[in-house]
Structure 1
Amino acid sequence: MVFPGDANHHGTLFGGVGLAHLDKVAFLAASRHARRTVVTAGCERIDFAAPARIGEMVEAVGRVVRTGRTSLGVEVELHAEALLSGERRLCTRGLFNMVALGADQLTLSPPPGIDIPTEADDWLRAADMVFPGTTNHYGTLFGGDALKLMGKAAFVAATRRARKVVVMAATHRIDFSTPIREGDMVETASRVKTTGRSSLTIEVQLWAEDLLNGRRSHSATAEFVMVAVDQSGRPEPLG
């Protein structure tokens, strides 16, 4: 989501924040492909085609388009989506060159037996990295930041279904099963479980993935009740 803290004085996504999103997705795509420690070596021309505005969702998608002996080229696109209308636009596109450290030869595909989710199901998925700023003194993802990620995922899933202004009304039981370590990829998977007259119950799962070996673990599950509201903040029918 584009919140005011990510925007410039024009009310649009600050270019540096957009570049950070692109670089993070390039890192995730390269790490998943190579199963090695990778770093950004450089990026080729990056074009900013359209702005992303405060209140919109941005989606960064990356794919490996070139592999060498120790390097990969990852093409990344950043799209903006107006959550109430569903209108989407391409904002930015770039090519990042990533290098695997200490590797004589890259693994050109994920190791066998690794279960990597596809987009063929009805879950809305989003990935992020666990950096030191979001960890506790044990070196694992702080519970409050985990809840923040899950709440944001519930908001996006509910708004995409309703195409109305939605707010969080309640959370049902939240279960944390396994910790997420610093350096892991964290993935939220959210979907609409039930709908009422003006409310939606969203199921959110939190998964962790070790980028070097592909091992995945289910870390948390929660349910959020989101309610569609009108301009005065009163519940509004979904239909």
Structure 2
Amino acid sequence: MSRELPSSGEPAGGPAPSTLIDIVFPGDTNHHGTLFGGAGLALMDRVAFIAASRFGRVPFVTASCERVDFRKPARIGEIVEVTAKPISAGRRSLTIEASMTAETIVGAGRHLCTRGVFHMVAVPDEDRPTDWSLPSLPAGIEDSHRDEVRMVDIVFADQSNSAGKMFGGEALAFMTKAAFVAASRRSRTLTVLASSERIDFQRPIAIGEIVEALAKVTKIGTASMAVETELWSEDPLSGKRHLTARGTFNMVAVDSDHRPVAVIPRNPEGLRS
């Protein structure tokens, strides 16, 4: 039976950062092999919206963004990590700081690609009193889940079936991506999916809900890693979270010729062998 991740079910509320993690594929790049600037901005705006929704629990729209400087590009095959965090709250306006970092799989190189500030405006429903306002920002909260991958996104219509629920294949792809990032960061080499254990979907995920995958390497063999992954759905307005799926993905570290290579744990504490 799969062991529950230590942080399972904990909402990332308050000013704790929300993180969207993706991989740069050829379809997202220009003729130089680097991520389109517009694609990077779209990721930053998306995670800014998630961070705002988790803070205010009301619908938000993007009002403006301050100057965004692209310092270094993200290239094909790199992992991009986009983090957003509220830094200032007014009556119905919220300022979100977002940054995008690129990370090479081999060698653990990281560099800041861009940073910007997004101004979001709350659009409360008619049931809220006319004097409603956003809460004040509490004291800073550190992200204490550094030993696992936590990645969020929003379910859009093109990811859903005719009933307005997220396709199972899309959910599996999201979980597999989280497992890949966790295994690659642990081994600092390329990894491939060897197998997955049984995955039961306990609840459908509706369009507009936030999805968060939590992945952690829990067992390391000679060239293989077991990555336990959970998929949570979250109502952006109420904050109510549900465990949607849980499974274990077996990843294998490979070299440039796709031959298995030994995994050297960076932090073996808490791992099973």
Report TM bin, short chain.
over 0.9
Q: How has the CA–CA distance of structure 1 residues 182 and 100 changed in structure 2, closer, same or farther, with 3 Å as cutoff?
A: same
The answer for the alignment partner of 1:89 in structure 2 is 111
Residue from 149, 163, 166 that aligns with 1:141: 166
My pick for the range that moved more, 87-96 or 99-108, is 99-108
Q: Note the C-alpha offset of 1:145.
A: 0.3
Amino acid at match of 1:25: V
The answer to whether structure 1 residue 205 and structure 2 residue 205 are counterparts is no
My pick for the range that moved more, 122-131 or 16-25, is 122-131
Residue from 78, 85, 89 that aligns with 1:67: 89
The answer for the alignment partner of 2:192 in structure 1 is 167
Residue from 116, 134, 150 that aligns with 1:107: 134
- Using the alignment, how far apart are the partners of 2:81 and 2:98 within structure 1? 10
Q: Is the 8 A contact 2:60 2:123 kept in 1?
A: yes
Q: TM-score, normalised by structure 2?
A: 0.82
CA shift digits 1:184-211 (9 cap, x unpaired) = 1000000001110010011110001101
Amino acid at match of 1:169: A
Q: Note the C-alpha offset of 1:21.
A: 0.5
Amino acid at match of 1:229: V
The answer for the alignment partner of 1:13 in structure 2 is 35
The answer for the alignment partner of 2:149 in structure 1 is 124
The answer for the alignment partner of 1:78 in structure 2 is 100
Q: Note the C-alpha offset of 1:109.
A: 6.0
User: Structure 2: which 5+ runs fail to align?
Assistant: 1-22, 265-273
Residue from 15, 23, 26 that aligns with 1:4: 26
- Using the alignment, how far apart are the partners of 2:230 and 2:30 within structure 1? 32
Residue from 201, 211, 214 that aligns with 1:189: 214
The answer for the alignment partner of 1:113 in structure 2 is none
The answer for the alignment partner of 1:226 in structure 2 is 251
Residue from 4, 27, 35 that aligns with 2:57: 35
Q: Is the 8 A contact 1:202 1:226 kept in 2?
A: yes
The answer for the alignment partner of 2:205 in structure 1 is 180
> Percent identity between the aligned chains?
49
My pick for the range that moved more, 119-128 or 139-148, is 119-128
- Using the alignment, how far apart are the partners of 1:2 and 1:154 within structure 2? 16
Q: Is the 8 A contact 2:89 2:136 kept in 1?
A: no
**Tell me, what secondary structure is at the counterpart of 1:151?**
helix
Amino acid at match of 2:249: F
**Tell me, what secondary structure is at the counterpart of 1:190?**
strand
Q: TM-score, normalised by structure 1?
A: 0.93
Q: Is the 8 A contact 2:179 2:229 kept in 1?
A: yes
**Tell me, what secondary structure is at the counterpart of 2:145?**
coil
**Tell me, what secondary structure is at the counterpart of 2:239?**
coil
Amino acid at match of 1:74: I
Q: How has the CA–CA distance of structure 1 residues 54 and 152 changed in structure 2, closer, same or farther, with 3 Å as cutoff?
A: same
**Tell me, what secondary structure is at the counterpart of 1:94?**
strand
- Using the alignment, how far apart are the partners of 1:153 and 1:55 within structure 2? 15
RMSD: 1.7
- Using the alignment, how far apart are the partners of 1:133 and 1:119 within structure 2? 33
Q: Is the 8 A contact 1:34 1:109 kept in 2?
A: no
- Using the alignment, how far apart are the partners of 2:96 and 2:143 within structure 1? 19
- Using the alignment, how far apart are the partners of 1:19 and 1:221 within structure 2? 31
**Tell me, what secondary structure is at the counterpart of 1:148?**
helix
